[in-house]
Amino acid sequence: MIYYKTPAEIEKMRLAALVVSRTLAEIAKIIGPGVTTKELDTLAEDYILSQNAVPGFKGYMGYPATLCTSVNEQVVHGIPNDVKLKEGDVVSIDCGAVLDGFHGDHAYSFMIGEVKPEVKELLRVTKKSLYIGIEASRAGQRISDIGYAIQTYTEKHGYGVVRELTGHGLGRNLHEDPSVPNYGRRGRGKMIRNGLVIAIEPMINLGKKEVGQLDDGWTIVTKDGLASAHFEHDIAIVDKKPVILSTFDYLEDALRERGLEIL
Ligand code: MF3
Ligand code: CO
């Protein structure tokens, strides 16, 4: 069952999403070679608590951390650890926070130093596919039109679209109906209408679409071992159009400030 949100609830959800956006900016200030994902996790948790919010992922189905940190062939749900990030890595940082009862949940794939050109292109295309999916999120369209748009664009580049994980409704719960696949045929599923709040999160593989799970019970990895990218925004449908509640502006400003490349 879909919980449609009132304008007042959507404003609360914007504030929750922006806690996450600012947390990602704190990460952008320090991420680089030699930093561990555990250090990033501690920073994120401290920052979220300082905003009178609480981590949204920690404890969710037993998940042990504030962030999901997925490096290279890890697609999503990587658990922060003591391994130092190194030049050439790509790391997807997914973060959740609950503020005033509502969840924010968004993600960005960061480059560590100089990464291979083909990985850069994967990041560029995956990020663009998120905005293409958002553009398709208009009242009168259906949920599957979002996935159709993302799949068509990313497969044109020869990439694999992960099937096993999807975007989702967002609200007082981290995962609400509807599920929002990143693939599909046009014109299927629920109609998109005002008050719908969803997290759109393309997970796109450089190689094949097949994924597996590590023994930790969480980390999703590509079967072929090639890199994967993940970008996520929270959006609300207002006046029949998508409004992006989260933002990459803060984190990209922080990267720019350090002279790092933005794709
Ligand atoms: N954005 C991720 C998702 O929607 C968040 C996962 S949180 C976890 O799947 F706790 F399940 F890892
Ligand atoms: Co999500």
Q: Where are the domains of the chain?
A: 7-257
- pLDDT at position 132 is 98
Is the separation of the CB atoms in 22 and 99 below 8 Å? no
SS3 133: helix
**How does DSSP classify residue 232?**
B
Q: Which amino acid is at 124?
A: R
* CATH architecture of the domain with residue range 7-257: Alpha-Beta Complex (3.90)
CA of 201 to the centre of ligand 2 (A): 6
Yes or no: say if 66 and 48 are a contact pair by the CB < 8 Å rule: yes
Whether 63 is in the pocket of ligand 1, judged by its Cβ within 6 Å, is yes
Q: pLDDT tier at 134 (50, 70, 90 boundaries)? A: very high
Distance from the alpha carbon of residue 97 to the mean position of ligand 2, in angstroms? 11
Task: Report the percentage of the chain scoring pLDDT > 90.
Answer: 100
Regarding pTM above 0.95, the answer is yes
Residue 142 pairs in a beta bridge with: 191
**Phi-psi sector, 187: left (phi>0), alpha (psi -120 to 50), beta:** left
Q: Among residues 224, 231, 230, 227, which one has the least CA distance to residue 119?
A: 227
Question: Tens of pLDDT along 42-98?
Answer: 999 999 999 999 999 999 999 999 999 999 999 999 999 999 999 999 999 999 999
Give the Cα separation of 252 and 263 in Å (integer): 9
Q: Measured from the CA of 57, which atom of ligand 1 is nearest?
A: 10
Cα–Cα distances in Å, from 214 out to 76, 104, 154, 217, 221?
11, 26, 26, 6, 7
Whole-number Å distance between alpha carbons of 261 and 187 = 38
**Mean pLDDT in the chain?**
98
Q: For ligand 1, atom 3, which residue shows the shortest CA distance?
A: 167
- Quickly state the pLDDT bin for 256 (edges 50, 70, 90): very high
The span from the CA of 165 to the CA of 106, in Å, is 15
Residues in the chain: 263
Gap from CA of 179 to ligand 1 centroid (Å): 13
Q: What pLDDT shows up at residue 124?
A: 98
Residue of minimum CA distance from atom 7 in ligand 1: 57
Q: Which of 240, 118, 137 is nearest to 182 (CA)?
A: 137
d(CA 106, CA 203): 13
